[in-house]
Amino acid sequence: MSVMESRAVLGMFSAIAPGMTWMINSLIPGRNAAVMRTESANKCKIMMLVNGLSSYIDETNSRPLQQMVDQCYSLGSFPALWAVEGLGKDLSEWHRLRNPNPRGILSNAELDPKSRGAWLMLHAGIGMGFARQPILDLPSNAPPAQIGDFALRFLELCRANSRPGYAGAAIESLGLVSRFMKNAEFCATVHRELTRSAPDALGYFWRGVGRCLYFHPENFMPAFGARIYRALDMADAEAPSPELKQTLYSGMAWALTVVNMMSPEVMEYVLANLSDGYAGSPGFVNGITAATVMRYDTTPGEPLIREFLNHRCTDPKLDALWAEKVRASCEFAINNVHPALDRHQRLEEVFRYQSLPGLIANL
């Protein structure tokens, strides 16, 4: 499928999915169909921003990176994050069409100090671009060795084109694209190959898989059991270990948080319905913290971040959960995690699951 064809399919899906989500959830007792529709529409909007109705760069790639980044930020501080990721994706795809071994795409690039917040999501974007077409080109019956060669080649491209302290943001996209364009079996094969050849990439890979599960088309179809997300059952079934299940939960919470910052009622609904399992997990808290670090780094002056963390729920029990899980995580991200990682050039660390308090203490 060509890039334009995939964008057209995504446009059609985005037009249909929110209404279908509302209709199905309205038939399930106890579901808040309006909130689920809002979340579906938010996810579709983000997917459209990342992929773009057209490329973020022209055919000659003649404009300075600063000018293209400024154009992304001109869309507004909330959508800018996703547009910057889309720009990174288009940049890496443009370079690989002309040179299969590009070097220095971002490591040799320059931005004004005022735009330094763009680096993180530009790196997430180049990872998407490095993974997408090679995964499409792999035959459906590709042997493990060929998949392993692809994964190692991907890692090499990420490291050869990333700035110090950002490569992990690019590597995480391998999990996102692998799970979206292939399947759980493919991800299990990548896991085995990375375990053997590049174990340091495993945390980033599975965090990307978790991010994908939140956006995956299967998760747009509401679950019919007690849990509102199919993605939770997918994560439980696909995680190779308990720790990596928390990594998947972290990726899902990362996406849930940053996608729905303008719609806190979505997070309220998750806390109200999943507080004993998913929302009570360490991966969930980690994902909220990581998402806030990423959002704050990209748009530090965005008042939406404070508005989101200071949101008050009308239900006292739910408000206490919000304070414990959401507000405390966001404040820790802004006041402790981001300053430390930024100072030590380690912002990539929020693209994998780990003890962030422990990491900060060691730094």
**237-279 pLDDT, tens per residue?**
999 999 999 999 999 999 999 999 999 999 999 999 998 789 9
The residue range of the domain holding 12 is: 3-362
The better pLDDT of the pair 226, 145 is held by: 145
Q: Under a CB-based contact definition with an 8 Å cutoff, are residues 220 and 21 in contact? A: yes
Tokens, residue 355: 């003890």
> pLDDT at position 5, please?
45
Report pLDDT for 7.
61
The mean pLDDT of the chain is 92
Which pair of tokens denotes residue 317?
Answer: 């029990």
- The reported pLDDT for the residue numbered 4 is 38
User: Up-side HSE of residue 217: CA atoms within 13 Å toward CB?
Assistant: 10
Max Cα distance, the chain (Å):
58
One-letter amino acid of 42: N
Q: What is the pLDDT of residue 59?
A: 86
Which residue did the predictor score with more confidence, 205 or 227? Answer: 205
Least confidently predicted of 25-34, 169-178, 209-218, 318-327: 25-34
- Percent of the chain beyond pLDDT 90? 79
pLDDT at position 6 is 63
**CA–CA separation, 129 vs 86, rounded Å?**
9
For the segment 161-172, the average pLDDT, to the nearest whole number, is 98
Q: What is the mean pLDDT of residues 60-89?
A: 93
What is residue 3's predicted lDDT score, i.e. its pLDDT? 43
Each residue's pLDDT tens digit, 299-342: 998 899 999 999 999 999 999 999 999 999 999 999 999 999 99
Q: Minimum mean pLDDT among 38-47, 93-102, 217-226: which range?
A: 217-226
Residue 74 pLDDT > 90, yes or no?
Answer: yes
pLDDT digits (tens, 9 = 90+) for 90-102: 999 999 999 999 9
Query: Which tokens hold the place of 221?
Result: 């179809």
For residue 277, the Cα-to-chain-centroid distance in whole angstroms is: 22
Q: How many CA atoms, within 13 angstroms, populate the side-chain half-sphere of residue 62?
A: 3
More confident: 296 or 45: 296
CA-based R_g, the chain, Å: 19
pLDDT > 50? residue 119: yes
| Residue entry with tokens 């990375």 | 194
Task: Please determine, for residue 212, whether its predicted confidence score (pLDDT) is greater than 60.
Answer: yes
Residues of the chain above pLDDT 70, percent: 96
3-state class (DSSP) for residue 222: coil
Give the whole-angstrom CA distance, residue 202 versus residue 244.
Answer: 9
What's the pLDDT tens digit per position in 132-155?
999 999 998 999 999 999 999 999
Q: Distance (Å, rounded) from C-alpha 120 to C-alpha 81?
A: 9
Q: Phi/psi at 361 (nearest 5 deg)?
A: -65, -40
Please tell me the total count of domains within the chain.
Answer: 1
Tokens of 263: 């719609």
Q: Does residue 56 have a pLDDT over 90? A: no
Cβ-proximal residues to 347 (8 Å cutoff; 6+ apart), any chain: 120, 165, 166, 169, 293, 297, 338, 341
Q: Is residue 30 pLDDT above 70, yes or no?
A: yes
**Closest alpha carbon to 286 in 349, 217, 355, 239:** 355
Q: Given this model, what pLDDT does residue 54 score?
A: 62
Q: Which helix (H) or strand (E) segment is 110 a member of?
A: none
